[in-house]
Amino acid sequence: MAQTITVQEPRALTQLATGRYLDTGTVAAYTFTLGFKPRYIHLINNTSRDEAFWIEGMAAASANKRVAAGTGTLITSNGITVSNTGFTFGLDTDLNVTNEQVSFVALA
């Protein structure tokens, strides 16, 4: 079994962003501009308690998702896509829901 591990010293992990998003209209993909390229993103739907996370190296539009009922899955579309300045949160129907607030933490 092969392992690839990248170790970063604490001083190299200095960028952190947190935020919230509430879509009160038609649900759409939403882009968060952070000013840096995240290496880890964790999203939580505060209403349903469903959550997803993306770790550097995962494919665009993907995420590991866990719904409040306890089931987990790897989503391969409508998930999280990272850019050099932030990320886009796709149209996953468990997480991105009209009138439900989503909170996130992004680390670089």
pLDDT tens for the chain, residues 1 to 108:
444 445 556 666 678 999 988 878 776 788 999 999 999 999 999 999 999 999 999 999 999 999 988 889 999 999 999 999 999 999 998 888 888 989 999 999
Q: Considering only CA atoms, which of 90, 85, 88, 102 is closest in space to residue 15?
A: 85
CA–CA gap between residue 51 and residue 73 (Å, rounded): 11
Rounded to two decimals, what is the model's pTM? 0.84
Tell me if 80 sits within 8 A of 41, measured CB to CB: yes
Given a contact cutoff of 8 angstroms between Cβ atoms, the answer to whether 45 and 21 are in contact is no
